[in-house]
A and B are shown apart, each in its own frame.
Chain A
Amino acid sequence: MATTQALTRRWQLSGWQRFRFWRVVAWLTLFAITALFVIPVLWMVSTSLKSPSDLANTNWIPQTLEWRNYRDAFSFGQWGRWTLNSLIITSVSTAGAVLSTALVGYSFGRLRWPGRDILFGVVLATMMIPEVVVMIPRFIIFSRMPAYGFQGSSVWVNTFLPLTVPSWLGATGFEIFLMRQFMRNIPIELSEAAKIDGASELRIWWSIALPLSRPVLATVAIFKFQGAWQDFMGPLLYLQDESKYTLQLALRQFEFAAGGAPAWNQLMAASLVVMLPVLVIFLIFQRYFVQGINITGLAGR
């Protein structure tokens, strides 16, 4: 702000118009860049409404608006089931991630216990471990863990358990890091006062820390929702029956059904519908996406 004001002052002397000119150029550049980000989605909408014969054209307005693509795209397979599966896995793992990382983050941020700083260093270090190093052993563990017939499976593989239970156990290092960074900045007097009143630590966490931490809870919830909804490798590894597929796996059905190039109009229609929940969440909770950046401390001040 003051930068531009200062700039303005300087340029006014040597030429206010030159300054205007560069601002206009910058605005036009930004506008063009933004257009490049928006065009693919518009193209997706356009494609999803085209007839098969219209697909080869690169015209923007379909010759006829084929709304039936949206019906036809979902006419085969078990889309209702797949949607439900995605919803179950996403909501269970999001709830687990928020609760468990809030508890763990509180412990790292607010409680004093021996070994805490070393273990927090371990939390940070886990962010550098590539998924693939643990992918195979995890698969082996889950193919041995008994599920006692849960979802018709004798082991955890081919159930939702490998995709949900780990979220209840501290999720990822980054989420714990966010929680801890936020919670250590809650005014400390509050919990001291509550302790004198004889409240247990669990109670302080639940009725004082959690309500004060709503912004970070929302941020973690949104990251986790987005990650779980869009996860592809997890379901690919662990879900074998078609009836247990998530929407991300289901989208591949168009390619399988066609045995090659999919029906792009139907695929784009289905893809738009699959994207929709994340888009809606983004539009409603936009500011929480940005908040994560502020909590990490990368924003400077």
Chain B
Amino acid sequence: MSVTVPGTQSGSPGPAVASARRPRFAWKLSYREALTGWLFASPWIIGFVLFTAWPMLFSLYASFTRYNIVQDPQWIGLQNYQQIIDDPRFYKALENTFWMVLYKTPIVMSVALGIAMLLNMNLPGDRIFRTLIYFPSVLAGVASIYLWQWILSPNGLLNSGLDVIGINGPAWFTDPAWTKPGLIVMGMWFIGNNVLIYLASLKGIPETLYEAAEIDGANAWRKTWHITLPMISPAIFFQIVTSIIGTFQIFTTAYIISGTRSNIGGPRQSMLFYVLYLYNRAFGRVGPHGLQMGYASALAWILFAIILTITLFQLAMSKRWVYYETS
């Protein structure tokens, strides 16, 4: 079954039936209802205060301190931030992470959209194809990371496949120039979810739009550009935003592939991603002072500021290119 939802605005739900129906004991009723509402929402409210709001404030405070958990935090003002500005590994981590965001996002978006369009052509067997393309994305986890490390080993399956068509494959995760492209190749295996979102969005475009365009004599290219892309622009926007937020936080893959080596971040720090670096600062494998919670908190807030800026910028820009039918 499919459920349709008008949008994501937090407007009032449903029609205003109830407010019209309760003239006399309005105050008493609404008081009870308000109490019930708060009680029902209380698990989230408690969880939010305990595990999100308070931690955020604390980490902001901690970022101005020297703190190793064992001793009390010691206020040092902006020192952490000043150190970060002079920290070559911070720039390396930032560079690696931005590289992934800049290359992975457009590649994933366009490949996923291409596959979704093929799946939307009513070709024979498309349901089986859809299932098979989607299933790897549910297998994300340590097991699949090892699988890809095995496939991308210098004499592995991919390189022997490339050999067949006359390409001399790179050493992937052992060659600093090829670690990040290797991660993108691996990431393509998990785009099933993106494909399904695009496919659902494509299936939602009313046929009448295409029919009208055909009467006007539009060719396939013009129909894609003037109907398909604007109609699925909310899905494109949503996926770009979430994919960028996700890519900024790459951790497990880089940790598994490179983290257990003595040299954190893989060959020549080419996989030293932001969160991997932050984790190692916090839990004591990089730097002189052991558990550097203050320094790591400052790193975390810088990342948060970057993500927030980029997301807000995208929200502002979205008004120019994202098309919402209802508005």
Contacts and interface: CB of A to CB of B under 8 A. Distances in A.
A40 B133 CA distance: 12
A193 to B, nearest CB: 12
7 contacts: A6-B207, A58-B157, A101-B44, A201-B36, A268-B146, A274-B143, A299-B203
B37 to A, nearest CB: 3
A294 B146 contact: no
Contacts, number: 320
B135 to A, nearest CB: 6
Interface of A: 1-4, 6, 10, 23, 26-27, 29-31, 33-34, 37-41, 43-44, 47, 56, 58, 100-101, 103-104, 106-117, 119-124, 126, 128-141, 143, 166, 168-171, 176-177, 181-182, 184-185, 188, 192, 201, 205, 215, 226, 229-230, 232-233, 236-237, 248-249, 251-252, 255-256, 262, 264, 267-268, 270-272, 274-275, 278-279, 282, 286, 289-291, 293-301
Contacts of A132: 249, 275, 278-279, 300, 303
Contacts of B200: 290, 293-294, 298-300
Contacts of B139: 275, 278-279
A110 B55 contact: no
Main secondary structure of the interface of B (DSSP, over half): helix
Nearest to B238: A298
B10 A104 contact: no
A230 B144 CA distance: 10
B118 A29 contact: yes
Given A133-B304, A181-B3, A268-B147, A301 B44 contact: no
B267 to A, nearest CB: 15
A237 B245 CA distance: 21
A122 B69 CA distance: 30
B100 interface: no
B7 A4 contact: no
Contacts of B252: 232-233
Contacts of B179: none
Interface string B179-215: 0000000000100100011001101111100110010
A101 B44 CA distance: 8
Interface of B: 1-8, 10-15, 17-19, 30, 33-38, 40-41, 43-48, 50-52, 54-56, 58-59, 62, 69, 115, 118-119, 121-126, 129, 131-136, 138-144, 146-148, 150-151, 155-157, 160, 189, 192, 196-197, 200-201, 203-207, 210-211, 214, 231-232, 234-235, 238, 245, 248-249, 251-252, 255-256, 260, 275, 278-279, 282-283, 293, 296-297, 300-301, 303-304, 307-308, 311
B38 A113 contact: yes
Contact of A279 (B7, B43, B135): B135
Contacts of A115: 38
Contacts of B129: 30-31, 33-34
B189 A130 contact: no
A27 B124 contact: yes
A300 B120 CA distance: 15
B151 A133 contact: no
B12 to A, nearest CB: 8
A3 B4 contact: no
A169 B46 contact: yes
Given A1-B207, A298-B235, A248 B201 contact: no
A232 B13 CA distance: 38
Contacts of A124: 8, 10
A31 B10 CA distance: 42
B300 A169 contact: no
A251 B143 CA distance: 7
Contacts of B138: 226, 278-279, 282, 289
A136 B255 CA distance: 17
A262 to B, nearest CB: 8
A267 B214 CA distance: 55
Given A107-B37, A229-B141, A268-B150, A126 B47 contact: no
A27 B128 CA distance: 12
B148 A134 contact: no
A26 B126 CA distance: 11
A160 to B, nearest CB: 16
Given A103-B43, A293-B200, A300-B201, A134 B33 contact: no
Given A106-B40, A121-B10, A275-B141, A170 B59 contact: no
B229 to A, nearest CB: 13
Nearest to A176: B44
A246 B267 CA distance: 29
Contacts of A267: 146, 150
A129 B13 CA distance: 26
A210 B278 CA distance: 42
Contacts of A141: 50-51, 54-55
